[in-house]
Amino acid sequence: MVALAFVGCAEPDFVLSPAVVEVDEVTERVYALQGLHPTDYLEATSELQLRAGLEVWIGGQRATIVRADGQGLSVRVEAPLAPGHHDAALRGPVALESPRALEVVSPPAPDAAWDATAGDAGDASVLDSSVEADVDAGADSGVDSGLDAGVDSGVDSGVDSGVDSGLDAGVDAGLDSGLDSGLDAGPVDSGVDAGPVDSGLDSGPADSGVDAGAPPATRALAAGKDHTAHVRGDGTLWVWGDNASGQLGLGDDVDRLVPTRVGAASDWATVTAGDRVTCAVTTGAALYCAGKNTDGQLGVGDTTDRDVLNRVDPGRNWADVSCGSSHCCGLDAVGVAYCWGSGTAGRLGLGDAMARSVPTALPGRWLHLAAGHTDTCGVRTDGSLWCWGDGPLAPTRMGSTMGWVALGAGQGFRCAVQTAGTLWCWGGNGNGELGIGGTTDAPTPTQVGARTDWGAITTGSQHACGVTSDRRVHCWGKGTHGRTGLGHTSDRDTPQLLAMPMAARRVAAGDQHTCAVDYAEQVWCWGRGSSGRLGLGSDTSDRREPTPLP
């Protein structure tokens, strides 16, 4: 694991996830800068973004950015990086001026193929043809949320029976799901990023208000069926909500009405929340799960529930994980995908409907995974999109389009973001959850509106939320319990802007609730309040608008 050091930041928390790939029959090593988002290393007054072509110096070695999109950055290095901490600096055709950014060294001569004046958020990934092959093979960051987070991040992707916000997710919102996790929201929705504290907003929502003494950036946020999990910037893991199966990992089955810390560890990197299941990955690439295990969804080799986090497949280095209704899927450090738990409807992608109680490998190399209600989707290293379950028993390609970067899987529907910043959804649409207007189902990916600045997506039971490059949150779909955060309980069939007063770093959609975290690491939740899933204390009433946790 390689951490990037900040200027003036004592404890770096970004990591590089390596993946060896074939590029024109030449083996090259591509690293995904997990938690690092292209739009975060700028002053609020600047329109410039990190793009392919910039050089990153890591441990004295030159690395070239081969992908820069809504989910994060990927770099190619000339030789493998040794484990440990490495100093890093950025250089390229523009000097980045944020005092919270990585150190900037003297830029080389500008690359004619890179337009340093481009400021449109939809052009977040302008790739020179000389590196296009590398981009298609490069590993994207997916720590997000949602690892979101993606998945999130995140991501990213809560469902009726509790799908994770996904590989952020959400809208890390992925975001921080791509934007985050979920975006990180991603798999782990997570929503996505762990950039410097400046919101990067100029004319967007209210300024984050974060100063030089702000807390470190949130690493992951995940919303499950009835509970929520948050990896803070200091690496600690906090959980709240329903705990009937011990999914909070606190050693009992007592619900928690406010965020409660899990153990004493401070090396958590990402987290996902499913249907009474919580799984998290440490910065040391160890995977742990707790909660319901009737179908082997904890991946520990049996079907006994666990009320504390148990390590999964200790001999493997894990990079990301996403849990759905009763199954989970994860990525190891070299992009191999594994699934386990219920095999009903082919959701594990292993060619049958049998359950697996231990992680079982799928063919190919992957960048993102998002576990839904009874299906799973993933993005391979070449940028192609694949889904399985709800019919197909093995990974089946969704069209011929390449360049998918953020992903969320909900209950019977899915959404994904392309490198151009466009958002696409498909599947069931009975409550307008596809965001395309009306309630007609769409069997294939269909573009949501005309915007080209989506960075993160997170999907819930029958609603979804996305984050645009200005860090504004938009939600749509089923409005019951106020899960869309729009101040009412009516359905909406197109993306609607939330009146959230702060810039969102990550967003995560659960079954009937949604949470987001801003740049001051303040968590906001809305939707159904029963079981304490909103983390607002003894008042477990529903909230129809984003409400800050105490």
pLDDT of the residue at 217 = 74
Residue 25, in any domain of the structure: yes
pLDDT of the residue at 457 = 95
Residue 45, in any domain of the structure: yes
Quick one: which of 430, 310, 370 has its CA closest to 181?
370
Q: How many domains does the chain have?
A: 1
Verdict on whether the full-model pTM lies above 0.85: no
Residue 81, in any domain of the structure: yes
Residue 120, in any domain of the structure: yes
Residue 168, in any domain of the structure: no
156: Cβ contacts below 8 Å, ≥ 6 apart: 144, 145, 146, 148, 149, 150, 164, 165, 166, 167, 168, 169, 170, 171, 172, 173, 174, 177, 181, 182, 183, 184, 185, 186, 187, 188, 189, 190, 191, 222, 272, 322, 370, 406, 407, 408, 457, 458, 459, 508
Alpha carbon 415 to chain centroid distance? 13
φ and ψ of 327, to 5 deg:
-150, 160
Percent of the chain with pLDDT over 90: 53
pLDDT of the residue at 197 = 26
Per-residue pLDDT reduced to its tens digit, 465-515: 999 888 899 999 999 999 999 999 999 999 999 998 888 989 999 999 999
At 286, is the pLDDT very low, low, confident or very high (cuts 50, 70, 90)?
very high
At 419, is the pLDDT very low, low, confident or very high (cuts 50, 70, 90)?
confident
What is the C-alpha radius of gyration for the chain, rounded to an integer number of angstroms?
20
Per-residue pLDDT reduced to its tens digit, 9-62: 333 334 455 555 444 444 455 655 544 444 443 332 233 345 555 565 665 566
Highest mean pLDDT among 134-143, 210-219, 407-416: 407-416
Per-residue pLDDT reduced to its tens digit, 298-356: 999 999 999 999 999 999 999 999 999 999 999 998 889 999 999 999 999 999 999 99
At 406, is the pLDDT very low, low, confident or very high (cuts 50, 70, 90)?
confident
30: Cβ contacts below 8 Å, ≥ 6 apart: 18, 19, 20, 21, 66, 74, 75, 76, 77, 134, 137, 138, 139
Residue 197, in any domain of the structure: no
Residue 66, in any domain of the structure: yes
pLDDT of the residue at 250 = 98
Residue 97, in any domain of the structure: yes
Percent of the chain with pLDDT over 70: 61
107-121, 165-179, 181-195, 513-527 — which is least confidently predicted?
Answer: 107-121
At 181, is the pLDDT very low, low, confident or very high (cuts 50, 70, 90)?
very low
Query: Could you write out the DSSP letters of every residue in 5-57?
Result: EETTEEEEEEEEEEEEEEETTEEEEEEEEET--GGGSS-TT------TT-EEE
Checking if the pLDDT of 202 tops 60, the result is: no
Domain boundaries, position 127 = 2-137
pLDDT of the residue at 248 = 98
122-136, 279-293, 354-368 — which is least confidently predicted?
Answer: 122-136
